Amino acid sequence: NAGVTQTPKFRILKIGQSMTLQCAQDMNHNYMYWYRQDPGMGLKLIYYSVGAGITDKGEVPNGYNVSRSTTEDFPLRLELAAPSQTSVYFCASSDNPLDPQFFGPGTRLTVL
Amino acid sequence: KNEVEQSPQNLTAQEGEFITINCSYSVGISALHWLQQHPGGGIVSLFMLSSGKKKHGRLIATINIQEKHSSLHITASHPRDSAVYICAVRFSGGSNYKLTFGKGTLLTVNP
């Protein structure tokens, strides 16, 4: 099993550009999460999904969108990149919301 | 406000030392997680606790619900234990899906 995979590992964007961060898991988990990690801060939940077709906002959703068309994939979309979105983004999944989460390796995004 | 505080922020130890990292939280919780973030960035879940104590190898996690406090202990520390250790809690009465994370404790174990 590959677990949770994320692409790309690194990306530099210019202000106003858009991009999609990819996340996939092969553990047949229903629950998937997107977090951002800023220097010196705890992880913050951006969006989460409880199953294919069902998504909801987390703590810091502004500037992001998600979709969940399959159990395996949970892409995160940045429409108009801003310097405040410079961060490391982690995708995670779990079998149910009370279980430990499995994390992907992260995507380091810089917006200049 | 629901908060998670970790101490210390940074910890340097010599190989073989006993390590303690602390986590305190502001209100009642339904579960507490300890995670390890490697220098390369990957995050791994170590423990999930709702009461008592759990042990895995040289790692021990304890929680005191009344005092709203948890500790992560590492016995016979080794340089490969060098990492950021993160505490995260699910507050009672809140969303089942939301974990609140501490800022992490950076542990460096020197040979």
Q: Work out whether the CA dihedral B92, B67, B89, B33 comes out positive or negative.
A: negative
Asked if the model's pLDDT at residue B2 lies above 80, the reply is: no
- Which residues, at least 6 apart from A39, have a Cβ–Cβ distance to it below 8 Å? none
- Record: contact A106-B33, CB cut-off 8 A: no
Measured between beta carbons, which residues in chain B are less than 8 angstroms from residue A33?
97
Average of per-residue pLDDT across B89-103: 84
pLDDT confidence bin for B94, thresholds 50/70/90: low
Instruction: Give the CA diameter of chain B.
Output: 45
Closest CA to B106 of B77, B86, B76: B86
DSSP assigned state of A96: S
Measured between beta carbons, which residues in chain A are less than 8 angstroms from residue B43?
90, 92, 103, 106
- pLDDT: which is higher, A4 or A98: A4
Dump pLDDT digits (tens) for A70-94: 999 999 999 899 999 999 999 999 9
- Record: contact A88-B33, CB cut-off 8 A: no
Return the pLDDT at B91.
87
- Record: contact B103-A59, CB cut-off 8 A: no
Asked if the model's pLDDT at residue A2 lies above 90, the reply is: no
* B48 touching A (Cβ < 8 Å): yes
With a pLDDT cut of 90, the percent of chain A lying above it is 89
